[in-house]
Amino acid sequence: MKEELIIYKGTQDRKILDDMTWLMDRYRSGDGRARPLFYECMNGLLEMASAYGFSGNLWHCYLTNLLVNDENCYSVACEIRGDVEGSINQFALHDITVFKEFFDFNFTEMTEVLKAPEFHLVIDYEGPSQGSRIYSTKIRDRICRLAEQFAACESALEMKAVLTGFYREYGVGKFGLHKAFRVAHTEDGARIEPIRNISHVQLDDLIGYEIPKRKLTDNTEAFVSGRKANNCLLFGDAGTGKSTSIKAIANEYYDKGLRIIEIYKHQLEDLNDVIAQIKNRNYKFIIYMDDLSFEEFETEYKYLKAVIEGGLEKKPNNVLIYATSNRRHLIRENYGDKEGRREDMHASDTVQEKLSLVYRFGVTIFFRGPDKKQFQEIVKGLAARYGVTVDEEELLLEAGQWELAHGGLSGRTAQQYIDYLRGRQA
Please tell me whether residues 187 and 304 are part of one structural domain: yes
Query: Which residues constitute the domain of residue 8?
Result: 2-177
Q: 259 in helix, strand or coil?
A: strand
Please tell me whether residues 261 and 386 are part of one structural domain: no
Please tell me whether residues 362 and 379 are part of one structural domain: no
Answer with the one of 154, 177, 200 that is the final residue of a domain. Answer: 177
Determine the Cα–Cα distance for residues 219 and 215; give it in Å rounded to an integer.
6
**Of the candidates 122, 131, 65, 70, the residue with the CA atom closest to the CA atom of residue 95:** 70
Please tell me whether residues 218 and 292 are part of one structural domain: yes
* pLDDT tens digits along 212-268: 999 999 999 999 999 999 999 998 888 888 999 999 999 999 989 999 999 988 888
Please tell me whether residues 346 and 396 are part of one structural domain: no
Could you tell me if 271 and 303 are in contact, meaning their C-beta atoms sit under 8 angstroms apart? yes
Please tell me whether residues 362 and 421 are part of one structural domain: no
Please tell me whether residues 48 and 170 are part of one structural domain: yes
Answer with the one of 344, 367, 390 that is the final residue of a domain. Answer: 367
b/e map 2-34, b = 16+ CB within 10 Å? beebebbebeeebebbebbbbbbeebeeeeeeb
Please tell me whether residues 323 and 357 are part of one structural domain: yes
Residue 312: what pLDDT? 52
Mean pLDDT confidence for 118-128 = 91
Determine the Cα–Cα distance for residues 274 and 137; give it in Å rounded to an integer.
28
Q: Which residue has the higher pLDDT, 109 or 138?
A: 109
pLDDT band at 329 (very low <50, low <70, confident <90, very high): low
Residue 345: what pLDDT? 45
| Domains of the chain: total | 3
Residue 169 has pLDDT above 80, yes or no: yes
**Of the candidates 148, 182, 180, the residue with the CA atom closest to the CA atom of residue 166:** 148
Determine the Cα–Cα distance for residues 62 and 253; give it in Å rounded to an integer.
29
**CATH of residue 311:** 3.40.50.300
| Whether the model pTM is above 0.85 | no
